Structure 1
Amino acid sequence: MTSAKEIEVRPIAKRDADALIRRVHYSGKVVRNSTLSLGVFLHGMLEGAMQFGPSLQKSNIVHLVRDTGWNGFLELNRLAFTDALPRNSESRALGIALRMIRKNYPHIEWIISFADACQCGDGTIYRAAGVLLTAIKINKDLHIAEDGSIIHKMSQITGRNKLQHLAATGGRWRGTGPTLEGHTLRYIYFLNPAARARLVGEPLPYSAIEARGATMYRGVRGKQAMAGSNRHSDGAAPIPTLQRQRGMENETRQATATDASEAAARESRPAQAAR
C-alpha cells in the first residue's frame, strides 16, 4: 500500500505548477505573481503543486504581525493535489514545504493563507498541519459575475479592469455582482517562533469555525460538512466544489505536467484542493 512517506516535494517551474493547478484546482485559476512553486511527486509523477508569493493586499496584511519586514512573509496562493496521492499526503507535503522555506529563506518569518469556505473548504489541511486560525470573516470579496463565474472584487476595482468597467458603464460603478454566500478563514504559520509573540490579537480556537457557522467540507456547509471533516481529518478526501456542483467544468481544462507527453497519456483525475 502506498504511503504518504513516499511523496517527494521539490521546486518546479511556475509553468508546470500553473498547468497542474488549472487542471485540478477548484477555481481553475492561477495567481500570476506567485514566486515559489513546489511540486509534489509520487513515483516520479507530478501529482500536486503549492505556490507561494506576495499577498494581493500586502500593505494591509504585513501589519498582522508587528515589526514584520516588507519581504518578511509569504502567502500560500494556491495548493492543489490529485487523487493519486495517498492519504495524509496533503498535510505532509505542506509540512515539508514550510520546512524548506524556513531553511532556504530565513528572512521569511511567517506564512499566511486563506481558506475559501464559500466554494471549497474551511481549511482542514491547514489545521492538520497545526496552522493558527486567526480570523473568520463573512465573505465580501467573492462575487458572481454575469456569466456565472466567480470573481474576486480586487480583480475588478483596480487597474485596467476598473478603467474598462467605467468605460463600459459611462463612468458609473455598477458593482461586481451578487456576493457569494459563505466565509473566508485566515490562517498563519510562524516559521520564526519568536514572531508569534508579535501577532496582533489572539488566534481563534478551531471550534470557532462551527460556532460561527463557517464549516465547509467537500463544498458542503453545516452538519454534513462536520461529518465529512471528522471522517477525513487529514484533508485527504476529494473536494468537489460549488463551482463544479453548478456545472462548471474547470476540471476538464487540459494541462501539462513536467513531461508533457507523460501528462497527456495520463487520465485526468478529480481535484483535491484546499485553496
Structure 2
Amino acid sequence: MSGTIAGGVERRGIRRIPGDYHRAMAITIRARLEFYEHVRSGRTTGRGCRAPTRQPTDLGSVTRGWSCRNIRRPATRRAAPNESNNPTMSPTIPVTPGIDFTRHHGVAGETSGYLFPVGGGDAIGFGDRAFHVTMLDRQIANEIVIANHYSGRIYRGSTLHLGVWIDGRLLGVLQFGYAMNPASAGSVVTGTAMSEYLELNRMWLDDEAPRNSESRSLAAAIRLIRRVRPTVKWIQSFADERCGLFGTVYQAAGFTFHGEHRGIFWELDGEFYHNTLMTAGGQRAKAPRAAHLLANKDRAVRHNLRQFRYLRFLKPRFAKGCRYPARPFPKPDYG
C-alpha cells in the first residue's frame, strides 16, 4: 500500500497524518527556504561529510578538502540572541508547529517519548520539547538537503523524511528509503522483503547543533521508525572515506560494522560521480549527469574510495540471516 498525504510526505503501510500538521509546518518553515535564493557567496556549513567542492553553480561552494571540518564559513557578524549565523536558516523559527507536547508517551523513567499532532492522530515524532525528530514535508526536506548536504543532490528513492528540531529550530534533516538497488536487501540479510529494511540516504545537521546531535537524532529516528514503519527489521547506512571518521556517528548510535568495500568514483570539476554513470548505456547515458560525465571523461579523475557498511537491527533475532558478519569498528589512522 502506498500513498501521499498533505504536504507531499510519502508513507507506505501506515496510517495517515492530519493534513493540518503538515500545512502548519510548511508555513512555519517556508520563510527559512526563502533565504536559499540569496545565498551566493558560499555554501552553508553543516556537520556530516563534505566532499571536495563543486563548481559555484547553484548555492556556491565550500573550501576544497577531504576533511568534514575543513570548511570555510562565509563571513558573518556575530549572531544576536535568538538569531542564527547560518544564511539559509531563518533567525526566528518557533517551536515545532502542530505538536501536542502535553500528550507525551514515553517509557517509564524517560523524559522523551512519542510525539503526537494537536487534535489527535498517530505519532509523528519522537523526543522532547528541547530535542526531537518529526516527520517533515518531502519538498522542504529536499530543498534543505540540496542547499546543505555535501552531495548537493537528493535521492529519489527516499520515502521517509525527518526534521531534527533543537530548541525549537529546525537544524537537521534525515532521509530514509531504498538502497540504490531496492531489491538487493536479500543479499545483505537473507529473506528481507523491500518493505522490511530502510537505508539512511541523506543526513545533515547544522554546525550550530550541539555535540552528539547526530547520534541523538539517529536514536530518536529509530524509535520513530519502530512505530510508523513496523515492518522494518533493519537499517543500513554507509560511511564514506571522504568523511575521514569511518562512521563514528553510527558507532555511537548502536550500529554494528559489517565490513567495507571499495567503490569507484569519478571527480570532474570538483564534483563526484558514481561509476554507474561512467558505464551507463542506452537511455541512461542521455541523462544530464551521465551525459556530462561521458562527454568529459578524458578530464575525469578516478578514485577508489572505501565505503563502510553499518547495520542497525531493530531486534537481535533479525541479525540471524545477515550475510556479512559483524566486525570490530574501523579506526582512522590519525598518525
Normalised by the shorter chain, which TM-score bucket? 0.5 to 0.7
1:43-192 to structure 2, matched below 5 A, reads 43-119=167-243, 121-140=245-264, 142-145=265-268, 147-156=269-278, 157=280, 160-163=283-286, 177-192=300-315
CA–CA separation in structure 1 for the residues paired with 2:246 and 2:171 = 22
Other-structure match for 2:50: none
Q: Give how far 1:136 is off.
A: 1.2
Give the AA of the match of 1:50.
L
Asked if the contact 2:144/2:173 (under 8 Å) is kept, the reply is yes
RMSD, matched Cα = 2.9
Q: Give how far 1:155 is off.
A: 4.0
Give the AA of the match of 1:223.
Y
CA–CA separation in structure 2 for the residues paired with 1:137 and 1:17 = 29
CA–CA separation in structure 1 for the residues paired with 2:204 and 2:285 = 30
Give the AA of the match of 1:200.
R
From the superposition, tell whether residues 154 and 168 of structure 1 become closer, same or farther in structure 2 (CA, over 3 Å): closer
From the superposition, tell whether residues 193 and 158 of structure 1 become closer, same or farther in structure 2 (CA, over 3 Å): farther
Alignment of 1:29 with 2:153, yes or no, is yes
Give the AA of the match of 1:179.
R
Q: Give how far 1:94 is off.
A: 0.3
From the superposition, tell whether residues 176 and 73 of structure 1 become closer, same or farther in structure 2 (CA, over 3 Å): farther
Other-structure match for 1:195: 318
CA–CA separation in structure 2 for the residues paired with 1:44 and 1:160 = 46
Asked if the contact 2:135/2:161 (under 8 Å) is kept, the reply is yes
From the superposition, tell whether residues 178 and 113 of structure 1 become closer, same or farther in structure 2 (CA, over 3 Å): same
Question: What is the DSSP-based 3-state SS (H/G/I as helix, E as strand, rest coil) of the residue aligned with 1:118?
Answer: helix
The structure with the greater share of residues assigned to helix is: 1
CA–CA separation in structure 2 for the residues paired with 1:164 and 1:65 = 32
Q: Give how far 1:119 is off.
A: 4.7
Question: Over residues 21-40 of structure 1, what are the superposed CA-to-partner deviations in whole Å (9 max), with x where a residue is unaligned?
Answer: 22222222211221110000
- Alignment TM-score, normalising by the size of structure 2: 0.55
Question: Structure 2: which 5+ residue stretches go unaligned?
Answer: 1-126
Q: Give how far 1:164 is off.
A: 5.8
From the superposition, tell whether residues 109 and 139 of structure 1 become closer, same or farther in structure 2 (CA, over 3 Å): same
Q: Give how far 1:13 is off.
A: 0.6
Question: What is the DSSP-based 3-state SS (H/G/I as helix, E as strand, rest coil) of the residue aligned with 1:112?
Answer: strand
Asked if the contact 2:185/2:194 (under 8 Å) is kept, the reply is no
Question: What is the DSSP-based 3-state SS (H/G/I as helix, E as strand, rest coil) of the residue aligned with 2:156?
Answer: coil
CA–CA separation in structure 1 for the residues paired with 2:298 and 2:232 = 36
CA–CA separation in structure 1 for the residues paired with 2:152 and 2:199 = 19
Question: Over residues 156-204 of structure 1, what are the superposed CA-to-partner deviations in whole Å (9 max), with x where a residue is unaligned?
Answer: 5266332469x979x99x6994322431111111113221111113111
